[in-house]
Amino acid sequence: MCPICADERQYVGWGGQRWVSITELRAEGHRGAVREEAPGLWGVGVEPSVGIGQRALIVPGPGGNVLFDCVPYVDDAVVAAVEAVGGLAAIALSHPHFYGSMVEWSRAFGDIPVYVHASDAEWVPRAGNIVLWEGEQREILPARTLVNAGIHFPGGTVLHWPGLDGAGALCTGDIFTVVMDRRWVSFMYSYPNLIPEHPDTIVRAVSLVDSLPYDTVYGGWWGRVVSGGAKERVRRSADRYLAHIGRRT
């Protein structure tokens, strides 16, 4: 049994456990997709969608690009497409649900480091160039800083960077989830099983990022972007969430 699926944050499909390889995905017609999420910011996805359909982000800056989060597919064509927009110098993961192919992505770009918060070390599936980091913040390349928000998993991580306009941005995966109404984000311990996050965890996470400059939040799926006023929108989202679970800030 896959430990991720057995955990209460996830579930085993009604038809039972199913395993798939990258080779099988390729044979089924899946391919990597590299395209701009915003002018100057590239994303990586899989088409047709696999699993929950997340896309990763290629976050630019001095010293090379950081791939924030992973998708469950990689081949020579998608590697070439990523190389065409600057390649990768490091990978950072928001939480264990996106760990599946991180070692393959690392090896595809010369065994680059993969940053995982030490609080989630138990979920690392196999050996690779995994860098376990500790504490609340870690700058992994100039102007790219990981922040341990602790939402969804104890090691739940977001990435802060200057953004495309210098006003600051957060890449959040589903740690701060940009919802369909893109004026808001939300926070959950389990999304498929609808288990809310603990209020103390949310208060801590919002406090951690409140000291950082940011005006945009890039969530974990294509188009899930809070553009403009993001810090205030995250604050209001937390206030609304806490009010609905009976906790006042």
- Tens digit of pLDDT for each residue in 48-88? 999 899 999 999 999 999 999 999 999 999 999 999 999 99
Whether 160 is in a domain gets the answer: yes
Res 219: pLDDT: 98
Terminal CA-to-CA distance of the chain, rounded, Å? 40
Whether 50 is in a domain gets the answer: yes
Res 249: pLDDT: 58
Starting at the edge strand that comes first in sequence, how are the strands of the sheet with 66-68 ordered?
31-38, 41-47, 56-59, 66-68, 90-92, 114-117, 130-133
**Which residue numbers in the chain have pLDDT < 50?**
none
Whether 162 is in a domain gets the answer: yes
C-alpha 105/C-alpha 75 separation (Å) is: 9
Alpha-carbon separation of residue 237 from 124, 187, 206, 215 (angstroms): 31, 9, 10, 15
C-alpha 209/C-alpha 158 separation (Å) is: 9
Q: Check which CATH number belongs to the domain holding 58 and give it.
A: 3.60.15.10
Whether 222 is in a domain gets the answer: yes
Record the pTM: 0.96
Contact of 133 with 117, CB cutoff 8 Å: yes
The two three-digit tokens of residue 136, written as one number: 């609340």
Whether 161 is in a domain gets the answer: yes
- Calculate helix-pair angle for 230-244, 199-210, nearest 10 degrees: 170
Whether 240 is in a domain gets the answer: yes
Per the structure, how many domains does the chain have?
A: 1
Q: How many residues does the chain have?
A: 249
Q: CA-based angle 176:169:240, to the nearest 5?
A: 35
Res 16: pLDDT: 87
The two three-digit tokens of residue 172, written as one number: 């959040």
Q: What are the respective helix, strand and coil percentages of the chain, to the nearest 5? A: 25, 30, 45
**Non-local CB neighbours of 233 within 8 Å, separated by 6+ positions:** 183, 184, 185, 217, 226
Whether 249 is in a domain gets the answer: no
Residue 66 forms beta bridges with which residues?
Answer: 59, 90
- Domain enclosing residue 175, as ranges: 3-244
